[in-house]
Amino acid sequence: MISAEDSPARPAGLINRLAGSPGFQSFCARVPGLRSIARREGAELFDLMQGFVQSQMLMALVELRVLHRLSDGPISAETLADRLQVPPARMQILLQAGAAMQLLKRKGKRFALARRGAAFLSVPGLEDMVRHHSVLYRDLADPAAFIRGETDPDLARFWPYVFGATGPMDAEVTARYSQLMADSQALVAEEALAHVSLKGAQHLLDVGGGTGAFLRAVRAQYPDLSLSLFDLPDVVAQAGLPADVGRHGGSFRTDPLPMGADVISLVRVLYDHTDETVAALLAKVHAGLPLGGRVLIIEPMSGGAQPDPQTDVYFAVYTLAMQTGRTRSADEIVALLREAGFVSVSEACGNRSYVTRVIEARKPGVTQEKQR
C-alpha cells in the first residue's frame, strides 16, 4: 500500500493541476498560440536545471581569460585552443556554450565578443566575484545538507569581520576581501547616488565602508561635503582617500561611532549581521546623529512578499552561507529602523535591485517631534 507521503504529488488548484498534467502539456504543444507558451515554459524550466553548468562555464571563460582574448577581434577555436593549451574539441564546446549564453557570438568558424560579454568585462570586480564563487560552490556541494544547517561553510571564514574580529588580521585576508568590496562597491555607489540626494548635507560618515569606494564616489558628486570613514583599523589603513577625509579605526560592535556627521551611510553592512547586531548598530547610529540627522541603508534586499529573482536566490543563499547575516526585506529593515527610533522612513527603488536598494530615515528633530 502506498502511503500519502510516498504517493505522487498532485498540485493544488486548477491552474497547477493543468500545468502538472502531461496530457494538457501535450495538448498545449499542438495548439497554435498555446504552443509558444508551452515551449517558453519548458525552456525556462530547463534553464533552471542547467543553471549550475552555466555558472561553471562562466567560471572557465573567466579563468582562461577567453573574453579578454576575444576583445581584440574574432579568433577560431583552434587558434585559441593552441594559445591556451586546451584540446581543440573541448575549446569548441566552451566557446559554443559562451555563444549560447550570449557572451560570445559565432562568425563562421570564429568566435567574437558579444555585447553581453563586453558589458561583463566593463563591470568592476565582476570577474573577481566569479572567481570567488568557487568557495560558495564548495559550500553548496550538498545543498540539502546546507539548507538543513548540517554543513560548515567555508564562506564565513572568507569574511572574518562578520564574527566580530577586532584585532590585527592576516594581511593577505584583509587585502583580499577589501579589494573585492572596493571593486564591487563602485557599481553600488553609482546606483545609490542616482536615487539619493546629499544636497544640503554637511558631513557624511560611512560606517563599515572598507577602503572608501563609496566615499570616493560621493566626493566626485559632492566635492564640498565633509567625509569620514569608520571601519576596522587594518581595513582603514588600506583606504586610498584624500587627505581631508577623516579616518577612524574601530569596531562598531565594541567602539562608539565618531560624532559630528549629519548623515551616516551603511553600505552593504546590515545583511552581514544578525538582527541583534543590527539593532545595536542602528542604536549607535541613532545616538551618533544630531536631531534631524539621516541614515542611509544601501544594500540588496529581499523582495519579501514579492520574491525577487536575484536577491531571494543569490544574496539570500550567499548571506546564509556566511552564517551570521541574512538578506532582509525592505519592510524588515524599516521595522528595525523604527525600533531604533528613526522616523520619516522612505525607500528609493532603483532600476537594478540586484545591485542595491536604498532606505533613508531620520532621527526625529524639533519639527518631527512636534508633529508626532
User: pLDDT at position 23, please?
Assistant: 60
pTM, two decimals, is 0.81
Who wins on pLDDT, 171 or 268? Answer: 268
- Strand pairing class (226-231; 246-249): parallel
Backbone angles phi, psi at 346, to 5 degrees: -140, 150
Q: For position 64, what pLDDT does the model report?
A: 97
Mean pLDDT of 4-20: 56
DSSP 1-47: ---TTTSPP--SSHHHHHHT-HHHHHHHHHSTTHHHHHHHHHHHHHH
Q: Nearest 5 degrees, angle CA 260-CA 262-CA 267?
A: 105
pLDDT confidence tier of residue 235, bands split at 50, 70 and 90: confident
Q: Using the predicted structure, report yes or no on whether residue 208 has a pLDDT greater than 70.
A: yes
Q: Which helix (H) or strand (E) holds 199?
A: none
Q: What is the pLDDT of residues 96-117, one digit of tens each?
A: 999 999 999 999 999 999 999 9
Cβ neighbours for 288, distance < 8 A, ≥ 6 positions apart: 205, 256, 257, 258, 259, 261, 264
Q: How far apart are CA 340 and CA 205, in angstroms?
A: 18
Query: Mean pLDDT over residues 329-343, rounded?
Result: 96
Per-position DSSP letters for 208-242, written without gaps between them: T-TTTHHHHHHHHH-TTSEEEEEE-HHHHTT----
Say what the pLDDT of residue 372 is.
41
pLDDT of residue 174: 54
> What is the C-alpha to C-alpha distance for residues 340 and 82, in angstroms, rounded to an integer?
61
The three cell numbers of residue 371 are 508633529
pLDDT at residue 124, as a whole number: 76
Q: Domain spanning 64-122 has what CATH number? A: 1.10.10.10
CATH homologous superfamily of domain 157-371?
Vaccinia Virus protein VP39 (3.40.50.150)
CB 348 within 8 A of CB 195: yes
Distance CA 239, CA 210 (A): 7
Instruction: Give buried/exposed letters for 218-250 (b at 16+ CB in 10 A, else e).
Output: bbeebeebbbbbbbbebbbebbebeeebbbebb
Is the pLDDT at 19 greater than 70? The verdict is no
Residue whose C-alpha is closest to residue 101's, from 66, 134, 139, 57: 57
Q: Mind listing the pLDDT tens digit for each residue in 255-266? A: 999 999 999 999
Burial of 30 (0-12, 13-18, 19+ CB in 10 A): exposed
- Provide the edge-to-edge strand list for the sheet that holds 343-348: 246-249, 226-231, 203-207, 263-267, 294-299, 357-362, 343-348
